[in-house]
Amino acid sequence: MTASNSIARSSLHWILGIATLALLAMAARNVEWARTWSAIAHANIGLIVVATVANLASILIKAIRWSLFLRAAGVPGVGLAIRATLAGAALNTLLIANGGDAARVAGVARSANVSSAVVLATLAVDRLSDLATYIALFVVSAFLLPLPSELAKWRLPGVGLLIAVVLIGAGVFGRRTREPRGSRDPHVDREPALLTRVRDYWRRLVATSRAVSTPPRIAAALALASIAWAGQWATFHYAAHAASLASTPATSLLALLVVNASFLVRLTPGNVGVFQLLYTLAATSAGLDRDAAVAVAFLIAAIQYIPVTIIGLLLAPWLVTRGAPETVAPHVPTSAHS
């Protein structure tokens, strides 16, 4: 069964990849590449610098947000979170399926000498905060901004999804149950070793998630996530004006929302191609020039990927090399202090 599932997942990935490449090839045929490259070549350097600073600032804020949960789980140090976040972002530009996130979980676990379940739990809570903020931004934008009908029709489903995320978060992280001391399932001793390890890993992950997700910490994470999204919004907007694309704040926000929906699953390294296609669709739906939009999409990708990749790989080479074997933490926090 495991081999069959692996083959099925691999086949699905290849099918989606081939379909994506075919779609990108069809879209590329209609682009006047001479105009696109001319817009990039004549882009305003000052505005590119502003967009780059905004992008790096948003990543730093994301790292600080993650460090809130790491510190609560017994992994201190904002610097470690920053290095791992930058290196993970760098690897995500080179790998598919958000492989950089898996690498930074393993890297932080080795560096801090804790179980990867503990680190993974903090990242899961952090990402849930980010997702909740994204959905809230989508819902608010759909109601308040003059968005195209293709996006505006998702107002009510967006509200429902936001409520579902809040309820799921409250259900998973809200309970603070403890296993009675001395209680042990007599069947555990007769289970296969692998099954016991999986069960213990899952218990550590859930216990840590619940311990670190206090209301004050979640509130702080949501506030930081909002600031990080504002930084990404600024990145898109200033990059557009650097390439002389007359994008309004509402159009830049639309492009940000549409493009980031694709990062749930990366079909290509750094989502190259998919990013450009979705940005162009969002921009042209607002009546903007297609070739200029393609130029802006490539410019944003360069702003987001090149500096982050260089800085991330320089700051944390340990994340992409083999480190010391992981050591399981002796205990999981049962209470978290803000």
**CA atoms of 153 and 133, how far apart (whole Å):** 20
Amino acid 177: pLDDT = 45
Q: How far apart are the first and last CA of the chain?
A: 44
For residue 68, the enclosing domain spans: 31-177+184-319
Q: What is the pLDDT of residue 165?
A: 67
- What does the pLDDT read at residue 281? 84
In-domain check, residue 334 = no
Domain for residue 23, yes or no? no
Q: Provide the number of structural domains found in the chain.
A: 1
pLDDT attached to residue 327? 39
d(CA 91, CA 319): 9
Q: Is 81 part of any domain? A: yes
Q: Please report the pLDDT score of residue 275 as a whole number.
A: 80
DSSP assignment letter at 179: P
Q: Is residue 6 part of a domain?
A: no
Residue 162, pLDDT score: 66
43: left (phi over 0), alpha (psi -120 to 50) or beta: beta
Could you give the CA distance from residue 235 to residue 273 in angstroms, rounded to a whole number? 19
Confidence (pLDDT) at 254: 87
Residues 27-34: contacts with CB within 8 Å, 24+ apart? Answer: 27/277, 27/280, 30/290, 31/290, 31/291, 31/294, 32/291
pLDDT of residue 168: 67
Which residue numbers in the chain have pLDDT < 70? Answer: 1-35, 96-98, 145-156, 158-159, 161-162, 165-192, 262-273, 316, 318-338
Q: Identify whether 13 is part of a domain.
A: no
Task: Return the pLDDT at 338.
Answer: 40
